[in-house]
């Protein structure tokens, strides 16, 4: 039986590619897509979900827009990374359908209630919607199998010296999620910076030749430009969000450890930092399966294999 999942995302180039990967994979049953504010403003991230599902001809999947700002802070967006639309680069179709007449939290709650088995939540943006779901529907916690997030880092941040973008946008929400008692799987910068797509990979995807593979290549053409800045020291562009879906499909290509993780919400220099108790210094029981390494070649092979599905 396919694994039921809900994808909460803020497209964003890498979110869009995570969606492409999920829908090319029969091992997964995507029950709903909800949008969070982060990579762009909430209206644009919602529109981008609808545009991508229209491109993928999956207008049957229910979509709902989420919170317009973090729980306790003003919204920060990453338009310097993802462009004015949030998905600059390719010519995407206009949305061919409308979102549900409900909030992201209501849609997620309905999917959980109606599911015969626990559902995996995959959250590739700030954790605002997920935190709101957990706080407003404690009776549904048992219907959540796990929460797989792209966010955080055990080492260096990418938005501040200590913090990764998704967690920095809404650290209070992330702390609620990590301390919820629900199993967490974390794809942080420690692994996603190893999941780099280089120019040869983009050429490989483009050569597949179908419209979706071509769109992914064009998304990556744009995404690469930001990551060419010398400060990063990258050979290519780290494909953060698809690591969450790839872990569900092929966990064997990742190296993981189980550790306790908390989120700093008030530090002068460390606000938004994911504090990982790597050496078991706190006495806290591990709450997170932490990805720390990836077989990059196998990751690229997986993406290429699934892009061929879109004939």
Any catalytic annotation for residue 240?
yes
Candidates 13, 82, 193, 240; catalytic one: 240
Burial class (CB in 10 A: 0-12, 13-18, 19+), 298: middle
Nearest-angstrom CA–CA distance, 184 and 226: 30
For every residue of the chain, which 3-state class applies, written as one string? CCEEEEEEECCCHHHHHHHHHHHCCCCEEEEEEEECCCCCCHHHHHHHHHHHHHHCCCCCCCEEECCCCCCCCCCCCCHHHHCCCCCCCCCCCCCCCCCCCCCHHHHHHHHHHHCCCCEEEEECCCCHHHHHHHHHCHHHHHHEEEEEEECCCCCCCCCCCCCCHHHHHCHHHHHHHHCCCCCEEEECHHHHCCCEECHHHHHHHHHHCCHHHHHHHHHHHHHHHHHCCHHHCCCCEECCCHHHHHHHHCHHHEEEEEECEEECCCCCCCCCCEEECCCCCCCCCCCEEEEEEECHHHHHHHHHHHHCCCC
Residue 11 token pair: 């497209």
Neighbours of 112 (CB within 10 A): 23
Active site residue ranges: 240
């Amino acid at each position: 039986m396919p694994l039921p999942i809900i994808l909460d995302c803020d497209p964003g180039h890498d979110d869009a590619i995570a969606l492409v990967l999920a829908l090319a994979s029969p091992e997964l049953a995507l029950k709903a897509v909800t949008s969070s504010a982060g990579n762009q403003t909430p209206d644009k991230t919602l529109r981008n979900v609808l545009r991508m599902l229209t491109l993928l001809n999956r207008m049957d999947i229910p979509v709902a827009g989420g919170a317009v700002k973090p729980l306790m802070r003003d919204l920060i967006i990453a338009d310097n990374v993802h462009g004015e639309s949030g998905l600059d680069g390719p010519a995407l179709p206009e949305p061919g359908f409308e979102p549900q007449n409900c909030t992201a939290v209501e849609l997620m709650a309905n999917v959980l209630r109606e599911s015969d088995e626990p559902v995996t939540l995959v959250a590739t943006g700030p954790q605002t919607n997920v935190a709101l779901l957990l706080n407003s529907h404690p009776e549904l916690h048992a219907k959540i199998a796990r929460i797989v997030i792209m966010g955080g880092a055990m080492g260096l941040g990418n938005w501040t010296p200590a913090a990764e973008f998704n967690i920095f946008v809404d650290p209070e929400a992330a702390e609620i999620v990590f301390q919820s008692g629900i199993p967490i799987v974390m794809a942080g910068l420690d692994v996603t910076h190893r999941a780099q797509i280089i120019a040869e990979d983009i050429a490989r995807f483009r050569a597949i030749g179908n419209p979706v593979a071509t769109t992914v290549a064009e998304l990556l053409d744009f995404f690469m430009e930001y990551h060419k800045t010398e400060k990063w020291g990258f050979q290519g562009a780290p494909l953060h969000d698809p690591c969450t879906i790839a872990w569900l499909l092929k966990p064997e290509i990742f190296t993981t450890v189980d550790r306790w993780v908390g989120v700093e919400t008030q530090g002068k220099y460390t606000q938004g930092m994911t504090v990982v108790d790597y050496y078991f210094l706190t006495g806290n029981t591990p709450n997170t399966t932490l990805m720390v390494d990836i077989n990059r070649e196998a990751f690229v092979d997986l993406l290429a294999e699934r892009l061929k599905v879109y004939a």
